[in-house]
Amino acid sequence: MELMNPEVKERIQELRQVLQKASYAYYVLDSPIMEDAVYDQLYRELQQLEIQYPEFVTPDSPTQRVGEKPATQFTSVRHNISLYSLENAFNIGELKAWEQRWRRNLETGAVEYVSELKIDGSALALTYENGILKRGATRGDGVMGEDITQNVRTIRSIPLRLNLEAIETLHGMPLPERIEVRGEAFLPLEVFTQINQERQKAGEGLFANPRNAAAGTLRQLDSRIVARRRLDFFAYTLHIPGRDDTSFANTQWEALELLQKMGFRVNPNHKLCRSLDEVAEYYEHWDTKRLNLPYMTDGVVVKLNSFKVQEQLGFTQKFPRWAIALKYAAEQAPTRVENIAVNVGRTGALTPLAQMRPILLAGTTVSRATLHNSDRIAQLDIRIGDTVIVHKAGEIIPEVVRVLKELRPADAKPFVMPTHCPVCGQPVVRQMGEAVTRCVNTSCPAILKGAIEHWVSRDALDIRGVGEKLVHQLVDREVVHSVADLYHLTEDKLCGLERLGKKSAQKLLEAIAQSKNQPWSRVLYGLGIRHVGSVNAQSLTQKFPTVLQLAEASLANIESVYGIGAEIAQSVYQWFRIDANKTLISRLQEAGLQFSAKDEAPTLANTNQKLAGKTFVVTGTLPTLKRDEAKALIQSSGGKVTDSVSKKTDYLVVGEDAGSKLAKAQELGITQLTEAQLLEILG
């Protein structure tokens, strides 16, 4: 719905206030209150509104300013050469539009681009006189920065003296008296984790991300603290007086090579691209590969390679025309909450969901985000109409992490969890000590649908052809009232459902019949006992080979199983004492399901015990094996597989896109294995 002029003006004023507050916190207080990706999106919204309604543009708008005031803790210095910001692009289409813009300013044929990873750290300007580091300054507002030379000297990857002899030998002449080097100071992820651990032990606030940690470190008044934090540095720009003199470098590519010869670290992943298509390939290649780097990156910097072309294109008021930052999909982004709905899961848990204006987040369009429970809603103080920050850093389910209360509508009302189940209408309960509100009506259609969907899932009974739509039909039409009813379905019952003919019904009945051969561990997992995952189910069935043994086991006996904690044990123990669950077991036994491991085919564990006594965790996407296949191979050789990394873990099997488990393993010094190394051990 298009905003009216008064609403536009109000929104513009709100955005300006939020952005100015964020800029002050970042530049002056050195205490960021907003993620870069969030600032970028709010800034772009303001920019687009001002373009559409130029009558509302004012001189004090953030879009009309080059930068903000630098902090005052250090001596302010004027940069010899201004540090410009880079224009941002967020997809290949915007990158192509940038190329079209600069080509309108310059008639030229084929050009080369240099693509470099955009390191997420803190920009530094280094001045060298006669090859000696004279000054190190923060970016500040691009014109004025802070002199932090003493701290810069602690960064070991920044040379205090340039390798002038090598330059003179190669070029036959000395460097000019003064040169300027630009680059990014950053904290390696391993160091960042260590710093936060130390701060947590000391009761200090944690850094939000490596970039904030790098900026905070550079502004330490005690350079000994800076030295201990082991900042690193990549150089990416070289300014030499008389740039048109080609004796040293006349392209960005040659400048990067020259920086290396001088003694600087240059990020090794830069690439010379001879077309925009090659730039796009580079960008897409690093979209996932960057997650395995030991430092943070948030995009790609694309520069026209030729210094001559750069000089001809020049600068706008804010940006160089010859360079652009191509950002990766944001892991956090702002959007508006249009409604708050409540979902009922298979355990009866009521989960509030924010229904939002669709946004692109981490490569996918997101319109819903979990709010977890009533405690989380109270903590966020979220209301319909709020502008919120949504997070999806490697997670499957997006969640709301913060509310921008400065943008809250005047008529926004607090959300209250329902007192009755939104599906069956029965009263809901919240047990003492629990954060979750639940529907306890075992006949609730939502609980039944969730239970069936879990039962037929790949890691449980793996019944192909029973999808969400079919499950909803089976429950809504009262064809099934329990997972046990699946084994009493007939062709006539199925053919009466939408889009299910005779042939499809027969295939479905065959798949259901085949599921009777699934082992006892899968059946146990399929029962959907709270907190029991597929790995825990295997551990339990190894200790209790029959359902009778597990049903009659004491609480202490269940808890003695490796990997089974008190909460899981309590859940299993109580589940088998509910009459309805006993009836379900009896019906499934009558249907022919496997509730005993004694009659199952012997596994390789009987003859091959290479991994006996060793505990593994599998994470990421493996090249050829599925995770379940890798787990099965480990277990068949006597090894144990758990879901979480701990001090008891011996090996972490790592594939692509590994996340927090890899970081935890690195922190604990746990041995990492590739798929190939695992297979080699297994022989």
Q: How far is CA 386 from CA 32, 333, 356, 365, 409, in A?
A: 21, 14, 10, 19, 7
478-500 core/surface letters (b: 16 or more CB in 10 A; e: else): ebbebbbbbbebeeebbeebeeb
116 is in an annotated binding site: yes
* Active-site annotation holds for 69: no
523 is in an annotated binding site: no
The encoded tokens of residue 144 equal 């004025």
What is the rounded distance in angstroms from the CA atom of residue 157 to the CA atom of residue 148?
A: 16
What is the rounded distance in angstroms from the CA atom of residue 321 to the CA atom of residue 100?
A: 11
Please give the backbone phi and psi of residue 540, each rounded to the nearest 5 degrees, phi first: -65, -40
What is the rounded distance in angstroms from the CA atom of residue 192 to the CA atom of residue 572?
A: 40
36 is in an annotated binding site: yes
How far, rounded to the nearest angstrom, does the alpha carbon of residue 323 sit from its chain's CA centroid? 27
Read off the DSSP letter of residue 295.
S
Read off the DSSP letter of residue 206.
P
2 is in an annotated binding site: no
What is the rounded distance in angstroms from the CA atom of residue 231 to the CA atom of residue 158?
A: 10
Longest CA pairwise span in the chain (Å) = 92
424 is in an annotated binding site: yes
Identify each DSSP E strand in 161-304 by its residue range. Answer: 178-186, 232-239, 271-273, 297-304
Smallest CA-to-CA distance from 119 within 187, 206, 26 is with 187
86 is in an annotated binding site: yes
What is the rounded distance in angstroms from the CA atom of residue 600 to the CA atom of residue 598?
A: 6
97 is in an annotated binding site: no
657 is in an annotated binding site: no
573 is in an annotated binding site: no
283 is in an annotated binding site: no
Rg (Cα) of the chain, in Å, rounded? 30
411 is in an annotated binding site: no
327 is in an annotated binding site: yes
CB atoms within 10 A of CB 396: 6
Smallest CA-to-CA distance from 46 within 17, 26, 76, 69 is with 17
What is the rounded distance in angstroms from the CA atom of residue 520 to the CA atom of residue 539?
A: 11
The catalytic residue among 118, 631, 661, 664 is 118
462 is in an annotated binding site: no
Annotated binding site for NAD(+): 36-40, 85-86, 116, 139, 184, 303, 327
Annotated catalytic residues are 118
Annotated binding site: 36-40, 85-86, 116, 139, 184, 303, 327, 421, 424, 444
